[in-house]
Amino acid sequence: MGAKGDMAVGKLWVISTAGFDGVGDLSSIWQEYDLDRFKEGMSTLFPNSGVSLEELFAEVMTGDVLGAFTHFLGGNIQGMAESVAGLKNVMIWLIVLGIVSALLTHFVEVFDKHQVADLSFYFLYLLLAAVLLKCFSQAALAAVETLENIVLFIQLLVPTYLMAVGVATGTTTVSASYQLMVLLIYGVETILIGMVIPLIYSYLMLSVVNGIWIEEKLTLLIELLEKGIGWILKAALGIVTGISVFQAVISPVIDSLKANALQKAISAIPGIGNAADGVVELVVGSAVVIKNSIGIVLLILLLILCAAPLLKIFLLALMLKGAAAFMGIVSDKRITACANHTGDAGMLLFRVTGTAMLLFLICLSIIAATTNRGF
């Protein structure tokens, strides 16, 4: 297990015999589990957060998970409010542009030459497309930044959690979990950021170009691209969930068999076997409590990390869909379709970001639930 693991086990003996007393005991095991990396990750990922990580961990250790979540959420609620400010003005401007385009198009149709009407339509269409692309670029930037932050989150904080899993279970589970995390990081960087995000950009650009023709010749291609992105996201969730479940069925059982064999051997020692067996149970139980507490803290931090950008992307996409619905009453169907497809592209960004978060949430949850050693 290594020097760090031996020191952690020794500290668990102190906690299991003396009991957990809150922040006082937490400070005594903080360095043994290398939880200072949590502070480094917090300062990188949550630079404006005023919440103490020690207090958050202590609340989780005492069983107040809901209090810890609301406490940390309260410290970041201002950033969430700032992320959605100004969306109302964008929606109003989009509706105004849609109404103006409808009025101008119907006004110039009174002339005999339809070239004037066509030129006015294309001018307003390009103007509206520029506004829509600007809105989408904000959502895309938030999505890519969130995906990169999720990868950075896993790289900074998960190794500490895996060390706690190793202390509570064994090396087989840690090795398999580490390989799965590396696979997830590679998948997010290569598939989601490298392939799916460019496909969403292509989806939006095809939607803009499609509005140039009255026949809307690219409609089927746009629908196929949207379905393809959905298939990729569903496949990613299914594959990761399947691998996590299959891994959870085998790896913890192997470590449990090794630990049970050692425990039986200790209990067979004449004179001190029963007492030693009880001590092992106390130590393992304490390790499981610390491991689960670190896992809960990780889940809370991951949810808070993704909450603000997910809310911003969702509201921006919802605003575009709402503006398209209002413009559809009076505007040209091509303008309405362009705004509606931009909202759909925003929803795809929301699904991509949410899928990346769910991949790691599922993986961490399965690891935490299947490595409790019967406690």
d(CA 353, CA 355) in angstroms, rounded, equals: 5
Distance, in Å, from the CA atom of 119 to the CA atom of 277, rounded to the nearest integer, reads 86
Q: How many CB atoms lie within 10 A of CB 192?
A: 23
pLDDT of residue 113: 59
Q: Which single residue is written with the structure tokens 């460019």?
A: 198
Which pLDDT belongs to residue 24? 45
Average pLDDT per consecutive 10 residues, the chain (375 residues; last block may be shorter): 48 45 53 65 67 70 70 60 63 74 64 64 80 87 90 81 75 78 84 91 90 79 91 90 80 65 57 55 69 80 84 88 81 82 92 91 82 64
Centre a 10 Å sphere on the Cβ of residue 370 and count the other Cβ atoms it contains. 18
pLDDT of residue 330: 75
pLDDT 10s digits, 252-263: 667 666 655 555
* Residue 50: predicted pLDDT: 60
Cα dihedral across residues 224, 226, 232, 236: positive or negative: negative
What pLDDT score does 300 carry? 82
State how far the alpha carbon of 317 is from the alpha carbons of 259, 322, 350, in Å.
52, 9, 8
CA-angle at 351, arms to 174 and 308, nearest 5°: 80
The pTM of this model reads 0.81
Question: What pLDDT is attached to residue 349?
Answer: 94
* CA distances (Å), origin 164, targets 12, 45, 69, 130, 145: 11, 22, 21, 51, 29
State pLDDT tens for residues 324-371: 888 777 777 888 888 889 999 999 999 999 999 998 888 888 887 777
Burial class (CB in 10 A: 0-12, 13-18, 19+), 27: exposed
Q: Is the Cβ–Cβ distance between 255 and 171 less than 8 Å? A: yes
Task: State which amino acid sits at residue 261.
Answer: A
How many distinct helices (H) and strands (E) make up the chain?
A: 12, 0
pLDDT at 14: 44
Looking at residue 229, its pLDDT comes to 93
* Angle of CA points 346, 351, 356, to nearest 5°: 130
Q: How far, in Å, are 141, 193, 290 from residue 232 at the CA level?
A: 21, 13, 36
Q: Measured between alpha carbons, how far is residue 313 from residues 29, 275, 352, 354 in Å?
A: 40, 57, 11, 10
